[in-house]
Amino acid sequence: MTAYLKKVFLLFAVLVAFIPALTSCTDSFFDLKPDDEVIGDKVYKTENDFELAVNACYSKLQTQMDFYIEMCEYRSDNLTLKAPTAGTQDRYDIDMFRETSANGILDKLWENFDNGIYRCNKILDKIDNAEFNLTKKKQFKGEAMFVRALTTFNMYRAWGNVPVARRVLSVNDALLLGRPSDQQMYEYLAGDLEQIITENMLPENYDSKDVGRATSGAAKALLAKVYLTFKQPQKAANLLQSMIGSYELLPNIVDVFDVNNKMNREIIFAVRYNKTIVGEGHGAWYSLTNLTDDNNRTDALNHLYDGTDDDRADLLEYLQVPGVNTCLMRKFYDTRDESTRQYGSDNILIRYSDVVLMYAEALNEVAYSGSQDSEALKALNMVHTRAGLTPIDIADVPSQDEFRKAILLERQKEFPYEGHRWFDSVRLGGATEAAAADGKSINDYQLLYPIPLSEIERINNTDILWQNPGY
């Protein structure tokens, strides 16, 4: 088989995936030590087989932190590089809106996402014919559909309408899989998540050994963001209303990120890590060697909390890690495991404050209310006042557009370094203005990334897979 066809098989999910094996030295599902053995179709029979396969889907999420750092935070007005250094040219190009279709970060992450979708599709192709506990079968199916929807949604937000498949494809079929319409993309994303919810495929919570698996709440929150992204605010409002009160805003926001308080009542979904298991921890995110090093923050982020006593500012403080030449932001602070030389803070993707602010956004998009007692303003103030600030007055947000800007600003203050800012700015209409304030002039087409050149060349048919306009 040629190298070309081998790569086609890999990226379009025709080869058998590497399935991480569940380790026996811990009592939690997310401790997934990668295995070098290629496991064939014959293993897709028992409950344990499918549990291992589902865990492999979560394991793939552990490898996608670069998406949230490079394609989300550096793309936004939170982080910037003053100049490229060895190994950072691709990041610099993304930051400066100069990336091309040959950018290595984009190519690597597209391939990563494709493989993640494949892992999910492999499960969904085979699980209906398996014979084991029906409740567990429904749960595993729901988890695979959730991870697939999350992965596909991230691809959509980055590249627009991308080729998607609900099953494992042959090589010929994969090569003919074209870009869907906006409606088809919406139906694909919303359809999976709506099915998870209406059929009660996922539980509301798990016992201690399975904490961190996708829940019904995670599916609802992700679906709400899909609705908002596709301009369906009423659907989002209805769904989010059902979630209000189901979780908590912790009184002290610093406690949300405490590594000794993982998966607390504010966290709805997180990619989990365990620093004590080789391959299950991670390197130091957003680290500095010395407290005096350049932290790459933009002026906008440096001055985001000026003139206020916003408790969230404390989360951006850097602290020295004992025993190593590493300083970590309080938001991601952890000590290093000396045996594995890894860190173990989780990558929190959905928390309750996101739900509350999405609810405010959805209500405002449905219809602006100039009342101090409006549900939208109450929701906005729930997050705002938790940070120790006085409530926002309706006089400060006298129109729908001003309210929208207030939500965007609140989200920037609430979620720096959590991978939200760029896509928030695109969805709420502030990306061009934010870039301009950071000294960058961008065009509308740059709200999407270029399709990786390797994918364009592999298909070699622009009627099936074409480059995003402008690139």
pLDDT at position 27: 44
> Rounded to the nearest 5°, which phi and psi values hold at 62?
-65, -20
Long-range contacts of 158-164 (CB under 8 A, 24+ apart): 158/67, 158/71, 158/109, 158/448, 158/449, 159/110, 159/448, 159/449, 159/451, 159/468, 160/448, 160/468, 161/185, 162/451, 163/465, 164/117, 164/188
Distance between CA atoms of 386 and 211, rounded to whole angstroms? 26
The better pLDDT of the pair 15, 399 is held by 399
- pLDDT one-digit tens code per residue, 189-231: 999 999 999 999 999 999 999 999 999 999 999 999 999 999 9
Q: Does residue 391 carry a pLDDT above 80? A: yes
Q: Give the residue extent of every domain in the chain.
A: 1-202+444-471
The CA distances from residue 207 to 28, 211, 300, 321, in Å, are 10, 6, 42, 32
pLDDT at position 44: 84
User: DSSP letters of 229-297?
Assistant: HTT-HHHHHHHHHTTTTSS---SSGGGGG-GGGTT-TTEEEEE---TTSTTTSB--TT-BSSTTS---B
Of 17-26, 91-100, 283-292, the poorest mean pLDDT is in 17-26
- pLDDT one-digit tens code per residue, 314-341: 999 999 999 999 999 999 999 999 999 9
pLDDT at position 19: 34
Structural tokens at position 245 = 């009160």
CA proximity to 116, closest of 67, 73, 76, 159? 67
Provide mean pLDDT across the span 425-446.
Answer: 96
Please give the share of the chain, as a percent, with pLDDT higher than 70.
Answer: 91
The mean of the pLDDT values for the chain is 91
pLDDT at position 7: 36
For 1-202+444-471, the fitting CATH number among 1.25.40.390, 3.10.20.30, 1.10.4190.10, 3.30.420.40 is: 1.25.40.390
CB 253 within 8 A of CB 311: yes
pTM value is: 0.92
Provide mean pLDDT across the span 130-149.
Answer: 97
- pLDDT one-digit tens code per residue, 334-363: 999 999 999 999 999 999 999 999 999 999
pLDDT at position 3: 37
Of 45-49, 63-67, 173-177, 346-350, the poorest mean pLDDT is in 173-177
Please give the share of the chain, as a percent, with pLDDT higher than 90.
Answer: 88
Q: Does residue 43 carry a pLDDT above 90? A: no
Q: Does residue 9 carry a pLDDT above 90? A: no
Q: Does residue 170 carry a pLDDT above 90? A: no
Distance between CA atoms of 149 and 191, rounded to whole angstroms? 9
pLDDT at position 171: 81
CB 349 within 8 A of CB 358: no
Structural tokens at position 159 = 């590249």
pLDDT at position 18: 33
One-letter amino acid at 403 equals F
CA proximity to 90, closest of 81, 102, 103? 103
Q: Does residue 41 carry a pLDDT above 70? A: no
